[in-house]
């Protein structure tokens, strides 16, 4: 069952400085293959910073299982937006994804995560993805994003600074817990 407003409709597009056209849409149940392809195109370091673990030896079955779970969302609790490109053969490829999840439909805080393929980074894509997601979150009554960031993830912390929003932050066990208002 698809929820109204979370279908295949476009959420806009973006052109990188290099001229690459990127389209935004909600993640759909049949997007597991796109998520696996995105994962496989991330560098070792990007995977470590995003997932907070070493992923070199993950079995393919586990990667697929996770991708299927991440594409089968409960729209009252989770929203995910995928950034895609179309190659010369007309094939869609994921270049980034952003998501939030909250425990109950009444929660006003949601945990957020974002990842962008290494060859597309530093084009403002993560910032655009977060902006689209924040708008949807506000529509659903979410007032704050929270997340865990590895202390050495300097790029993500710089991105958060560029948002010019007040950030509550504390460091525990080499990770920074952040809380950002969506005002």
**What is the pLDDT, as a whole number, of residue 8?**
62
85-95 per-residue burial string, b: 16 or more CB within 10 A, e: under 16: beeeeeeeebb
pLDDT of residue 2: 32
Indicate the fold that domain 10-143 takes in CATH.
Aminopeptidase (3.40.630)
What pLDDT score was predicted for residue 152?
67
* Domain layout of the chain by residue ranges: 10-143
* pLDDT confidence band for 180 (50 / 70 / 90): confident
What is the Cα–Cα distance from 89 to 64, expressed in whole angstroms? 24
Report helix, strand or coil for 47: helix
End-to-end Cα spacing for the chain: 31
Percent of the chain with pLDDT over 70: 81
Q: Looking at residue 138, what is its pLDDT? A: 93
pTM of the model: 0.82
Average pLDDT over residues 107-111: 92
- Residue 9: what are its φ and ψ, rounded to 5°? -60, 150
Tens of pLDDT, residues 43-99: 766 665 555 455 566 678 877 888 888 888 999 999 999 999 888 888 899 999 999
Q: What are phi and psi of 163, to 5 degrees?
A: -70, -15
Q: Comparing C-alpha atoms, which of 108, 117, 128, 123 is closest to residue 180?
A: 108
Length of the chain: 183
Asked if residue 66 lies in contact with residue 77, where contact means CB atoms within 8 angstroms, the answer is no
Residue 178 has what pLDDT?
Answer: 79
**Chain segment 21-51, per-residue pLDDT in tens:** 999 999 999 999 998 888 887 776 666 555 5
Q: Is the dihedral of CA 23, 47, 151, 111 positive or negative?
A: positive
Over range 149-177, report the average pLDDT.
72
Report which of residues 179 and 166 the model is more confident about.
179
CB contact at 8 A, 39 and 65:
no
């Amino acid at each position: 069952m698809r929820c109204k407003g979370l279908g295949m409709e476009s959420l806009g597009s973006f052109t990188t400085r290099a001229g690459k056209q990127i389209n935004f849409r909600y993640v759909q149940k049949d997007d597991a293959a796109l998520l696996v392809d995105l994962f496989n195109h991330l560098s070792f370091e990007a995977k470590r910073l995003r997932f907070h673990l070493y992923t070199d030896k993950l079995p393919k079955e586990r990667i697929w299982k996770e991708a299927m779970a991440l594409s089968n969302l409960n729209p009252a609790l989770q929203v995910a937006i995928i950034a895609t490109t179309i190659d010369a053969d007309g094939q869609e490829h994921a270049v980034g994804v952003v998501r939030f999840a909250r425990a109950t439909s009444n929660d006003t805080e949601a945990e957020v995560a974002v990842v962008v393929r290494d060859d597309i980074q530093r084009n403002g894509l993560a910032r655009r993805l977060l902006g689209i997601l924040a708008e949807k979150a506000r529509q659903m009554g979410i007032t704050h994003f929270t997340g865990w960031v590895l202390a050495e993830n300097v790029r993500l912390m710089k991105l958060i600074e560029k948002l010019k929003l007040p950030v509550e932050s504390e460091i525990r066990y080499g990770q920074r817990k952040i809380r950002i208002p969506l005002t």
